[in-house]
Structure 1
Amino acid sequence: MQITLENLQRSYGNLHAVNGVSLSIPSNTIYGIIGKSGAGKSTLVRLISLLESPDGGEVYFDNNRVDNLTKQAMIDRRRRVGMIFQNFNLFTSRNAEQNIAYPMEITGMSKPAIKARVDELLDLVALQGRGKAPISTLSGGQKQRVAIARALACNPDILFCDEATSALDPQTTHAILSLLKEIQKKMSLTVVMITHQMEVVRDACVQVAVLNDGKVVEQGLVTDIFANPSSEVTKDFLAHLVGLDESASRQDKMVQWSKKRGTYTLRFRGDTTDQPILSRITQSIGVEFNIRAGGVQKVGDVEIGTMVVDISGDEETKIRALEALRIAGVLVEEEGKL
């Protein structure tokens, strides 16, 4: 199911929460929408999932406009959209299988059909034998697995994940993302992940849109965005991810030799991560690189290297070194410049 957004607008008083967003989200993929708190992510997902109507603009599923449907048609369309939330939103008065059964009960499905589907879904999310478990006895990861099963109960063609891993520890987050990737392939779903965690985008998404102040500031393949970010917002996300400040988790930190931030950030992609590029430039040009920090991370099937450096030498030598880096396929960012 392809999703197309055309100039979406949504305001609350003087706040333009979504301000002219246009996107094309391909079918049968995992698409990320990332932004900081207040960027407009939650409002945008409510518009795309038809929980709210836009003040302006249009929403299409495949080639069919869906934001202006009649009341009953809107209800029917929403039933084919699955939602997973940060805080699970499970009924504590119901056990695991009763939570999963709830959407099917609303649609009037027969009890035997519901039972068969619940058993199928418990198996899919690796919770076999836990159907009778009270929600209070489940771990955070198990609760999210129940929520995923419930979201899939009515065979949706689109699955929205609104900060679905924000309440989970890193190990559980990895397991849930792996599960979602597996489910996406099995069911050929269009999955839209709304998040403020760049590691979620890195580990799960194929394409991403970066949101800031209600607008899309950057979009494209995740590998391209990581290797060649164009907006300050994206660069800041990547700086947090690879550990250029204290908020980065240990597993995402680069090896850091100095607390001072270098003047240049170098980004290497694919084969360039294995080549002695700096050594060659030092020998050929005579410039010196002072490496402040460096590391490599896997983005999909591509290795993306990041290095923070200072460059010593006169201005002419620096210019020659920067040009040599670019010719070698290295993206060069100077501190404070786009």
Structure 2
Amino acid sequence: MIEFINLEKEYKSKDKTVHALKNINLKINKGEIFGIVGYSGAGKSSLLRCVNYLEPPTSGQVIVDGQDLTQLTEKQIREVKRNIGMVFQHFNLLNSKTVYANVAMPLILAKKPKERIRERVIELLEFVGLADNLNDYPDQLSGGQKQRVGIARALATQPSILLCDEATSALDPQTTSSILQLLKKINEEYKITILMITHEMSVVSEICDRVAVMESGKIIEVGTVFEVFSKPKTETARKFVSTVMNDQFPPSIKEILKEGNRSKSIYQIRFFGQQTESPLISQVAKKFNVDITILFGNVTELQGQSFGNLIIEFIGDDIEIQRAINYLNHQQIHLKEVTSHAS
């Protein structure tokens, strides 16, 4: 559906050259909700703008629906772009136009018949829950309602791809959740491929199928949401995951690590899926001559999967503790020793 091959993008000025995208290779499958996450300046928006060719790449290929945009004429690119809808962070609505007129605008520009325009606009406003607001103006709407208008407008020409550029970052958490559920509904009912750019891992965790993590113009990690959340491979991914998983060490744990009279056999355990329901800790305590103290713990629900996080302390003979640790290392969990430098 969307593929980037050896993609590079540079921005040149008199003083310097900014290498915004570096050797991007990524494939987004038809029907996916795909998230791209990264901090400001990571290259997320540049990558998104290459999909709808607002930014032509410096080199490499951008393939959309089997067509390499770098090999097309301007007219052919316009044809491809008709199948791509765009949802913006700050809505980009025409304040002097009604809700109806804003949604109708792409159809008017496409010179569709008036009756067909009305039929399509009414259908979309009902779909996004704004059937009673068609004669309102943007200034009369809440932020969430404005974004629903923006989404309806993006869907007007029946695109096969929807690009969302920080579509929820200007909204409060409750409104964000409702907009994300609307996007999920669009994906499921209209079978539209959605590419989401965000700096919020909570957005990714709620509706995305797969995610790519960007840093300094490169993709440093890619996988299913479950893969990236359960076993992040890079420090940047781990930091993003921590914002959702709440696995940062509490101040009380840091104080314990500083104490000189503690055994310091402190470990972090992460459980996934059905493992969160297993009485593994009690089994280990019974199997080996050790006491286990749970210092901290929580369980997070992620797209129907449970993620458990525990910080435990082993108390007992060093040999028995090591036997218990060896046993745990052979289970389907993630075990990591916690040191005084933990953060």
Structure 2 match to 1:3: 2
Structure 2 match to 1:158: 161
With over 3 angstroms needed to count, the CA separation of the structure-2 counterparts of 1:292 and 1:239, relative to structure 1, is: farther
Is 1:258 paired with 2:258?
Answer: no
Structure 2 match to 1:249: none
With over 3 angstroms needed to count, the CA separation of the structure-2 counterparts of 1:128 and 1:260, relative to structure 1, is: same
User: CA RMSD of the aligned region, Å?
Assistant: 2.2
Counterpart of 1:151 in 2: which secondary structure?
A: helix
Structure 1 residue 307: Cα displacement? 2.5
CA contact (8 A) 1:160 1:191 kept: yes
Q: CA-to-partner distance for each residue in 1:36-55, whole Å, 9 max, x for gaps? A: 11111111111122211111
Structure 1 match to 2:17: 14
Q: CA-to-partner distance for each residue in 1:169-196, whole Å, 9 max, x for gaps? A: 1111111111110111111111011111
CA contact (8 A) 1:297 1:304 kept: yes
Which residue, 38, 54, 58 being the options, matches 1:55? 58
Structure 1, unaligned runs of 5 or more: 246-253
Structure 1 residue 309: Cα displacement? 4.1
Structure 1 residue 297: Cα displacement? 1.9
With over 3 angstroms needed to count, the CA separation of the structure-2 counterparts of 1:306 and 1:59, relative to structure 1, is: same
With over 3 angstroms needed to count, the CA separation of the structure-2 counterparts of 1:97 and 1:312, relative to structure 1, is: farther
* TM value normalised by structure 2: 0.88
Structure 1 residue 146: Cα displacement? 0.3
Is 1:41 paired with 2:41?
Answer: no
Counterpart of 2:254 in 1: which secondary structure?
A: coil
Is 1:107 paired with 2:101?
Answer: no
Which residue, 298, 315, 319 being the options, matches 1:295? 298
CA contact (8 A) 1:258 1:293 kept: no
Alignment map for 1:182-201 (pairs within 5 Å) = 182-201=185-204
Larger displacement relative to structure 2 (69-78 or 153-162): 69-78
Is 1:229 paired with 2:243?
Answer: no
With over 3 angstroms needed to count, the CA separation of the structure-2 counterparts of 1:129 and 1:258, relative to structure 1, is: same
Amino acid paired to 2:6 = N
Structure 1 match to 2:279: 276
Is 1:66 paired with 2:65?
Answer: no
CA contact (8 A) 1:4 1:59 kept: yes
Structure 1 match to 2:206: 203
Structure 1 match to 2:262: none
Which residue, 216, 223, 226 being the options, matches 1:220? 223
Partners of 1:92 and 1:21 in 2: CA distance: 38
With over 3 angstroms needed to count, the CA separation of the structure-2 counterparts of 1:76 and 1:128, relative to structure 1, is: same
Amino acid paired to 1:3 = I
CA contact (8 A) 1:39 1:213 kept: yes
CA contact (8 A) 2:247 2:309 kept: no
Structure 2, unaligned runs of 5 or more: 258-265
Structure 2 match to 1:251: none
